[in-house]
Structures are given as C-alpha cells and as structure tokens.
Structure 1
Amino acid sequence: MGSRAAQQRQEARQLAARLSAEGVRNVALTWVDNAGIARVKTIPAERLAAAAERGVGMSPVFDVFTSDDAITASDHLGGPDGDLRLFPDLERVTTLAGQPGWAWAPADRYDQLGLPHPACQRQFARRMTERAAAAGLELRMGFETEWVVTRAPAGHPAAAGADEPLDYPCTGPAYGMTRVVELSDYLRDVTEALSVQGIDVLQLHPEYAPGQFEVTTAPGDPVRAADDVVLVRETIRAVSVRHGLRASFAPSVVAGQVGNGCHLHLSLYRDGTSLHRTPDAPWGLAPDASAFLGGILGALPALLAIGCPSPASYLRLQPSHWAGVYQCWGVENREAALRLITGAPDDPDGGHAEVKTFDAAANPYLAVGAVIAAGLHGIEYATRLPEPQTGDPGVLGVRERARRGIVRLPATLTEAADRLEKSAPLYEAMGEVLHGAVLAVRRAEEAHFAESEDDAIAAATRWRW
C-alpha cells in the first residue's frame, strides 16, 4: 500500500511538472450531482500531487442540490454537517484546448477515512462495470451530444436572463449544409479542441431545431464514456464562449420545439467477440445480449428518472418526435425507445443498441451504471425480448397499441420517480444512500415546477445544462 501511494505521488508530481511546462496554471476537478450539474473545485496545478494524496474537501450536501441550486434532503444526506474528499483521476487529467491555462480531471469521492462515498456516482458506474466484467461481459458505451447555440448578449455571456429572445447565429434548414457554412469556424474549433484533448469525434452535423447541432464520439468503457461526455459538453461550452456564443444542452430550449437528447449507445462483448453479430440468432443477438437488452427495456419506466431527470425532460418526450416515448424496441426504428442498430454487414465489430430517451440533464455516471444494472438483471432472470416494433407507435390507435403490448413510458417526472422508487433491482445496485438522494432531488424538482407552465419550465432550465 505504501509503495503504491509513493508511486502515485511521484506520478502526480511528474504530471504537475508537465502541466506547468504546457502553461497550465489551474486544474478543474469535477463531479456531476444528481441534478446533472457538473460541479467543480479548482486547484493550482502545483497542488495536484497534494490533491492526489489527500484529496480536496467538499460537502456531501451537493448530493441533494437541485438544478436551481436549492438544497433538499434525504434520509442520509442534507444539512451543513460532514465532509468528503475529492480525488482526481490522474489517468484522465486533460489539458483543455478551449480554456488556455487550464486542465481538467474527473474526481472520485471518499469520506475522511478513505472509504468510498456511498453516493459517489462515478464509483457506482465503476462498480456496475466491474459487476459486468465478473459476469464475463465487456461493455462499450458512447453518447451522442446535442446542443443549441445562440449568440451571447452584449457583455458577459451570462448577463442575459432566462426570458431573453434567442438570437440564433445560423438560419439554415435542419440538417442543412448552410448551417455548417455559417458556423464553419466555430464547428472547426469545436472538433479541433476535442481532438487535441484525445476525444475521437465520429461525426458532427446540424440537427432539427433552430441552431441545433450534434456530435458523436467514439465508444469506450462505461466510466470513460461518462467522463468523455462531461468533457465534450464543457469543451463545447468553452469554445462557444470564445466565439461570443452560448451553448445550451437543456432537454427543452424552447417549449414546443424539438429538444436536446443525449442518446446512450452500448454494445456487449464476451472474450473479445461481439454479442450483436451471432449467426442464426434472432436479430443477430446472442442470448446474453438479448436478455441484457430485455432487462433495459423492462426497466425503462424507472430508468427515465435517471436519464430524464428534469420536468423539462418531459417537454422533449413527445410522440412522433424520434424521442422514443413508448416502451418498445425496434431494429433501426428511431421512434422506438430502445433501438437496435445492425451495422454494416462486413463490419465484424458492428451492431449495437441505443437508448433514445435520455437527455443531457442526466448524470452520465448514473445513466451508464443504471443501464448496466438493468441489463445484468435481465441476464440473471433470462428476460426475453418481445417482437420488435416497426413504424411509429404514436400513429397507432390506442387499441392497436394495446394489442401489440406497447405502453407509454412515464409522461411526467413524478410518474418516473414513482417507478424508480419501486425498482428493487436499481435500489439494490445503487444502494440506499444513492437511491435515496436521487429520489429526494427528483421530488424536489417536481415540487419546484409543479405550478409552472411549459414555457416557464423551459426558460428556467435553459442555461442550467
């Protein structure tokens, strides 16, 4: 143990020296709270070794912060008492291309005795990844990040209130090349910054809503995928500021318009072999892959409280908007909540699944951990996938949906939180402290927006993510 600690100190000193040589003066240590907000403590770069050895203090009360910075309480967390330690993950320390003089690292949280904090979402994601590995499964995950960009008001980018009219810097049609031409310098700088930071960009394109874009990054192990999406968002935000723009990742930027999703893609492997390309198996899925996806499909009503955690999320979740609001799955069906993507026939690593319902208000560590837990529960109980659905369930009549066994996923945060509260598999996976903290935040968000109109919800949350 002593030699390991000494080695880590030496690595941290060497890393701090390298950062200093690169002109880095400060390091941002981030964690994501249960409302999906990336919170931060910053340290001088020369303090990195001390932070790696002793951590950086922070209050456990952040686990019950809501999206508007109000503080609620659970049975285990809340109030002014207690302290935790943030430990930077030295393997993920990244010099920030969009913020000269800064570096970033995700942090794990421990108590003062060095024990894992039971509500640490990043460690929850790691535990579920390790649980999958113990079952002989390797998971690769990745996120699609959607955002809307607007011109910042005169002066400081944060000067505008929530109700100001949005000034879009591009006016071209959805998915149109015009938008790329209008913002070519900005989009080039986004992709360049991500590349310099080691993020492998697969594609970037205009999306449907005004000023909306999407970037897809390469998959990795689940914890890395969650780290990456945090880094992607903050990089886009930083590059936007340098261009006099603002970036919103909120589920609903303008009520009634298509919102921002943050779809989660996943694939399963055993012994290096894809479980999505099994010859002669239904839909090409090996039995474990089919059961894993069956577990996710069955848990989707509860998973919505994880992946769609804001009342604003349910403004986005509308039928016939490619958001996946019905509890069904389909092969290459963009209206299905769970979409199977077969991939090119000559790609031996092709084939994966996509959870379409999630958005960027979600804590990505909670999202990947909860999805893994649901999938492993499906394998444990040999869950069977029903027949896949084709077409748009939203255009079917109520009787036809009932005949096909298609039901609407929760249409409100209250309903989703009720399902999470009753989910024994997710309670077991998350543990009492984390599960209770998540529910406390969801209930507080419900209460805060209970009397709000859709426009007010969208305006109040537009710049929170």
Structure 2
Amino acid sequence: MGTTRRTPATGTDAAAHTTADMTDHPDRRRDGDPWRAQERARAAAARLARAGVHGTALTWVDNAGLTRVKAVPANRLPQAVGAGVGMSPCFDVYLVDDSMTASEHIGGPDGDLRLVPDLDRLTVLSAQPGWAWAPVDRYEQDGRPYAACQRGFARRMAERARAEHGIELRAGFETEWVAVQGELPGAGGEPAYPTRGPAYGMARLVETSDYLRDVLAALTAQGVEVLQIHPEYAAGQFEVSVAPSDPVGAADLAVLVRETVRAVSLRHGLTASFAPVVDPSGVGSGGHLHLSLWREGRNLCAGGEGPFGMTRECEAFLAGVLRELPALLALGAPSPASYLRLRPSHWAGAFQCWGLENREAALRFITGSGSAADTANAEVKCVDSAANPYLLVGGVIAAGLAGLAELTGADPAAARLPEPVAGDPVHSDPAPRRLPGSLGEALAHFDSSTALRRALGEPLFCAIRAVRAGEIELFEGTSEQEIAAATRGRY
C-alpha cells in the first residue's frame, strides 16, 4: 500500500467516565421529559434482566462505514440513558484499517462525547444470547447535540422534509453479503464458499437452508419484518430485504440486520462479508436504498401527472437526487473497493441516469404491483454496504430537498427528470454520463456540492472529506486484488 501521513490509532481511556446528569439540557432529550426517560430506562433494564440479558451493545457507524461499539452491563442502562457513555470523537476520522487521520474540526486525542442509547430501538439479540443492542445518538459533554453525529444528520434531514414540505419519507435497505467457509483469506487466497450452485438457484437454497432458516428466525425474533431472502448471483452471495421504516429507523435496521447475519454466520462456521467486492474479478455486493415520499397517508410516487404516475413533488425530489449522484457516491460508495463493483453492465448502476424497472440505471423507478399507491418507490442502485447508512439516507434526502426547492426557484425546469433510459446505458445513443469511476473523482464532486455541504455542516462534511482523502492515499498504488483483500474483512 502507498505511504500515508496518518497517526497510528491508539486506544481511548477505558476507565469509567463520570459526568453530571445532562437530562435537563434542552437539547439533551428529544422527548423533553428526562424523568420519563429514566423511568423507561429502568423498566427496560428490568425487562432485559428477565430475558437473561447481561450486556447491551451501543453502536454507531463511523465515516469509514464501520460499526463501532461500547457495551454496558444491562443493569447500567439507566445510567447510560441519563449520563451517556464516554467515547472519543477521534473515531470520526478513523480509516478502514483503524489508522487515524485528522480534519479541520476533528482529530487528535482531546475531547470526549456522550453516547446515549435510543430506547425505542432497544432489541434483544437472538443470535447473541445474553446480549441486547441499541443505536446511539452522540452529544457533547454539556448535552448539546454533537455536530458530526451521523444519526443526528439523518434525523435532521427527515425533519426538514416534514417541516418544509409536509413530506414523510419511508426507506429501506437491501442487504447483500457473501458467506465464506472459515475465515476470509488474505491477498492471493481464494475464498471457500458454502455453495456454488446456479445463480438464484434452488440448489443454493437447499444447500444452505439451515443457515438461511436461522437468519430468518433470528431476524423475526428481533421484530424485523423480512420481505425477501434468497441466493444472489455470485458464489456464496445472498440478499435479504426488510420492510420500510422512517429514514433513521431504516438505517438502524441496516445495522441490526448486518450484525444479525454476521452472528448467525459465525454460528454456522461461516464468515459474512458485506464489502463491495470479495473477488474483484466477479460481481460485487450492493446496499441499495429504496425510498418513497408520503403526505397524509398518500404515496407521492403514484397517482400524479409526472413520469409513470409520479407527482410533481416526487419528480422534483428524484431530479435532485439524480443531479447529486456523482457527489452522493462519496457517501454511498465511500471506499476505493466500491469502484471495483461500480462497473458498467454489472447491474451496479454505473451511469447517471434513471429508468423504469431498469437495473442498470443508477436510479431505478418502481411502479409496483397491485396497489401502486402503496408500493411505488425509487431505488438508488449505485451504492453499497461500505456506506454509513445514516449518511447515505440523510444525503439522499438532502439532495431530494434541493430538487424540491427548484419547483419554486428561478428555473422550475431543473425540477424535471430527463428522459428515462431503457436497456443497458452502454448501448444508448447518446450514452448517459458515466458516474465517477474512482473515489477521487467522487470526492471532487462532493467537494463542490453546495447542497451536501450545507446539509451536513462543516464539522461532519470536513471529517468525511478527510477520511475519503485518507483512504485514497492509503490504497494509492495498490492492485485491485490487494484492495479487495484489505477491505473484504472490514465490513
């Protein structure tokens, strides 16, 4: 790998942190009722004890797309809710290999944050007996929301859509992964897959039926509504889709589903990889995002006068997303490995175009079957599971809101979608614009995106930019095989 000016990652202080209870801070509790939060936390701790839970994993996802964790004994959940759990902000500038860079606002050993679990998402983990899980929001020591909290960013964007346009978004992630027998090999090693039957073949389902049954059972026990599960195209590759949720909830589910699959896999002697590619000579794994726009119970993706029944607001939102796709790749395809997947004619969405049910288009529109008013949605296909799901869903909403602003702007035509593309864009005449073919190209578009910079805010925007630049430098001069080997075990 290329040389890089990075600081070696060092452990944070493992001693117990103490801080004043911050539940009276006006920004500290979203429900505005600190007593009620403590009462709920004590009741939740009692339920965990009755369920035989000893520890609760508190997770967030960093800017490199890795899920980080602090865990607390289950009986300390009230203290975690009341005072938070300490964690350094430096993890926002960690790279995929656990080395650390720095940004204008974040970096170095100084500072501390408070991780506060979201009790609404507290889940007893079926595949990890004795454990529960909850995602966290991150706060400053004095109780102010942390400006670089990715989950907070996704929430702000969802709240903006509701406040400015009366629109509620529903979103859901598809999770694709590759399972290999034993550990993932290093450079030059060939993974051993549990099955090599035909793509989407029943033979693969038969050979892995116990494994996939246990994935389904674990997700169901955790209250996750599974829509589909099946073998995918590549050897040892699978996909699971779950029911849509609000944007923050969809990102939470993406984390929970991934870690559940990981735990079930280990119990079967398998290692699950959610990396963009395991084998750079084959097809990759995506982390597609589906979303729809709703107002007062009506799906704005259907029943309108726009393309394929879209309302004008839906069209404007999707036009904004399509316009920002080159910059959004810095959030949704954030690894150098992502561009080993994002290739033409691989159903990865490598061109900046949209189409009706077109799996080669970066933005796919789906009218649905049966009651289209309920099922019509759009799918962002050019993204993968190296992405932080909170950043991705928040960034897509920010781009869509910029498109909605064009409806009343100086140039309403900017709120229109171009003509849809049918078939493989490679064969279109003229061919649509190719999306960035490297992380460096995507980062250049991200740097120039006013919409994303304003939405993210300077601390988060600069931290993301620093991490992307650090990983570009980290993998400079390495081969495709070396990039795949270095990243396939990290996600």
Using structure 1 for the length normalisation, give the TM-score: 0.96
CA distance in structure 2 between the aligned counterparts of 1:191 and 1:260, rounded to whole angstroms:
20
Q: Determine if contact 2:187/2:481 at 8 Å carries over to the other structure.
A: no
Deviation digits for residues 41-95 of structure 1 (CA, Å, limit 9, x no counterpart): 0000011000000000000000000111010000000000000000000111100
Q: What is residue 457 of structure 2 aligned with on the other side?
A: 431
Q: What is residue 12 of structure 1 aligned with on the other side?
A: 41
CA distance in structure 2 between the aligned counterparts of 1:124 and 1:280, rounded to whole angstroms:
32
Q: What is residue 357 of structure 1 aligned with on the other side?
A: 382
Where in structure 2 are the equivalents of 1:21-100 lying within 5 Å? Answer: 21-100=50-129
Q: Determine if contact 1:162/1:462 at 8 Å carries over to the other structure.
A: no
CA distance in structure 2 between the aligned counterparts of 1:460 and 1:9, rounded to whole angstroms:
43
Q: Determine if contact 2:121/2:135 at 8 Å carries over to the other structure.
A: yes
Structure 1 stretches lacking a partner, 5+ long: none
Q: What is residue 147 of structure 1 aligned with on the other side?
A: 177
Q: Determine if contact 1:162/1:463 at 8 Å carries over to the other structure.
A: no
- Which secondary structure does the structure 1 equivalent of 2:375 belong to? coil
Residues 163 and 30 (structure 1), Cα distance of their counterparts in 2 relative to 1, 3 Å cut: farther
What residue identity is the alignment partner of 1:139?
L
- Are 1:334 and 2:334 counterparts? no
What is the root-mean-square deviation in Å for CA atoms of aligned residues? 1.2
Deviation digits for residues 77-120 of structure 1 (CA, Å, limit 9, x no counterpart): 00000000000001111000010000000000000000011000
Pick the aligned partner of 1:446 from 472, 475, 484.
472
Q: Determine if contact 2:186/2:486 at 8 Å carries over to the other structure.
A: no
Where in structure 2 are the equivalents of 1:203-352 lying within 5 Å? Answer: 203-352=228-377
Q: Determine if contact 1:203/1:217 at 8 Å carries over to the other structure.
A: yes
Deviation digits for residues 246-293 of structure 1 (CA, Å, limit 9, x no counterpart): 000000111121001000000011121111112544310101000000
CA distance in structure 2 between the aligned counterparts of 1:53 and 1:289, rounded to whole angstroms:
41
Residues 18 and 118 (structure 1), Cα distance of their counterparts in 2 relative to 1, 3 Å cut: same
Runs of at least 4 residues off by over 2 Å: 160-165, 279-282, 345-348
Deviation at 1:387, TM superposition (A): 0.8
Instruction: Indicate the larger mover: 105-114 or 268-277.
Output: 268-277
- Are 1:116 and 2:145 counterparts? yes
Q: Determine if contact 1:205/1:214 at 8 Å carries over to the other structure.
A: yes
What residue identity is the alignment partner of 1:90?
L
CA distance in structure 1 between the aligned counterparts of 2:188 and 2:159, rounded to whole angstroms:
45
CA distance in structure 2 between the aligned counterparts of 1:253 and 1:18, rounded to whole angstroms:
40
Instruction: Indicate the larger mover: 164-173 or 34-43.
Output: 164-173
Question: For this pair of structures, how many residues does the alignment match?
Answer: 454
What residue identity is the alignment partner of 2:361?
A
Q: Determine if contact 2:87/2:114 at 8 Å carries over to the other structure.
A: yes
Q: What is residue 426 of structure 2 aligned with on the other side?
A: 394
CA distance in structure 2 between the aligned counterparts of 1:223 and 1:272, rounded to whole angstroms:
19
Q: What is residue 218 of structure 2 aligned with on the other side?
A: 193
Q: Percent identity over the alignment? A: 59
Q: Determine if contact 1:401/1:407 at 8 Å carries over to the other structure.
A: no
Q: Determine if contact 1:89/1:105 at 8 Å carries over to the other structure.
A: yes
Using structure 2 for the length normalisation, give the TM-score: 0.91
- Are 1:462 and 2:485 counterparts? no
Deviation digits for residues 189-216 of structure 1 (CA, Å, limit 9, x no counterpart): 0011001111110000111111000001
